[in-house]
Amino acid sequence: MDATVLHAPGDIRLEQVPDPQIMAPTDAVVRVVASCVCGSDLWPYRGISRVSRPRRIGHEFIGVVEEVGGEVSTVRPGDFVITPFLWSDNTCAHCTAGMQSACANGGGFGGPDRDGNMVDGCQGEYVRVPLADGTLVTTPGQPDEALLPSLLTLTDVMATGWHAAVSARVRPGATVVIVGDGAVGLCGVLSAAQQGAGRVIAMSRHADRQAVATEFGATDIVAERGPEGVARIMELTDGIGADAVLECVGTKESMEQAFASARPGSMVGFVGVPHGAEAPMGQMFNRNVGLAGGMAPVRGYLDELLPLVLEGQINPGRVFDSTVPLAQVADAYRAMDERAAIKVMLRP
């Protein structure tokens, strides 16, 4: 089959790799209907994360079950499934507490399973999914083509934006600031609005992203950054700061922006993979601003989010502004890297 391999920073290729096989009785093999490039894929692509050898890449996809192992009981060949970006047993103590992203037996796509066998990256034609019963969530029947973008966001970015809002403890009526206008930040805007925020302030300098933010429920857009951005937030909040802040980037600057925007007693919900971001201990202590978040427990949130998509209450698929054939995966990375696209869908 064809699958994407990152050889070195900037060197991404579609290559022939072995077709996946059931290797454990808890596996499923799923045919990819749509996958995509994640902002976090850009860290190794840009060489900010180390790439020591060629590696399979991609962790977001939806598809149709092709084959299941002997112990799989909740999905069958032909089922359309949503695949959280981490696989999990959904039965361990962490999973049952709703923290499936810390599953005692789980792992990520492109990495090893419990037996040491490599799991496929998701930017390909087929993927072997370990612990299928604990990981995959089926849709009722085959979804309409028009729903695919939104369903695909549920595998990561929408659930991650949701996690930022949950971690920041967004409350009905709250004033919420979202730092970051990538797909996750935009889904954070949608999540804050959906969770009842009264005022949703999106920080974005790009007209196309501002438009999506507004469509997703942003009541205010702040284009300024740094000290000017902080001054603007303070002006909008009568000098008080936001009740909740979503940090959806992971850099030093974005984390500083987040803490400077937060009122005393509030929380910063962070979901951007930390790359230089630090927690300002003194500021946190003196102003009682907390920090929580991390890798979203997607499997747990799907029970709540999938119905919202199926019923048309949210349309997070709007973050996809480009779709290309899998064969053009290198173009997709380039577009994301140059911010020419918000998020690119790949169709095998």
Q: Is 248 in the site for a copy of itself (CB under 8 A)?
A: no
Q: Which is nearer to a copy of itself, 124 or 272 (CB)?
A: 272
**Whole-number Å distance between alpha carbons of 111 and 129:** 11
Q: Which is nearer to a copy of itself, 15 or 278 (CB)?
A: 278
Span of 75-83, 119-127, 272-280, 325-333 interacting with a copy of itself by CB under 8 A: 272-280
Residues 22-61, one symbol each (x = binds a copy of itself by CB under 8 A, - = not), give: ----------------------------------------
Q: Is 278 in the site for a copy of itself (CB under 8 A)?
A: yes
**Whole-number Å distance between alpha carbons of 221 and 201:** 6
Q: Is 15 in the site for a copy of itself (CB under 8 A)?
A: no
Site for a copy of itself in 84-113 (CB under 8 A): 93-94, 97-99, 101-102
With b meaning 16 or more CB within 10 Å and e meaning fewer, what string describes 252-280? Answer: eebbbbbbbbbbeebbbbbbbbeeebeee
Site size with a copy of itself, rule: CB under 8 A:
35
Paired strand residues for 262:
242
In this structure, are strands 61-68 and 199-203 parallel, antiparallel, or unpaired? unpaired
Residues 195-234, one symbol each (x = binds a copy of itself by CB under 8 A, - = not), give: ----------------------------------------
Span of 24-32, 149-157, 204-212, 266-274 interacting with a copy of itself by CB under 8 A: 266-274
Residue with tokens 């507490």: 97
Q: Which is nearer to a copy of itself, 92 or 147 (CB)?
A: 92
Q: Is 263 in the site for a copy of itself (CB under 8 A)?
A: yes
Question: Can you say whether the dihedral through the CA atoms of 191, 193, 195, 198 is positive or negative?
Answer: positive
Site for a copy of itself in 123-182 (CB under 8 A): 167
* Contact between 22 and 119 (Cβ < 8 Å): no
Q: Which is nearer to a copy of itself, 17 or 295 (CB)?
A: 295
Q: Is 284 in the site for a copy of itself (CB under 8 A)?
A: yes
Q: Which is nearer to a copy of itself, 128 or 163 (CB)?
A: 163
Span of 222-230, 293-301, 328-336, 339-347 interacting with a copy of itself by CB under 8 A: 293-301
Q: Which is nearer to a copy of itself, 7 or 171 (CB)?
A: 171
Least distance CB 134 / a copy of itself (angstroms) = 16
Report the interface residues with a copy of itself, using CB under 8 A. 93-94, 97-99, 101-102, 167, 238, 240, 263-265, 267, 270, 273-274, 277-279, 281-282, 284-295, 297
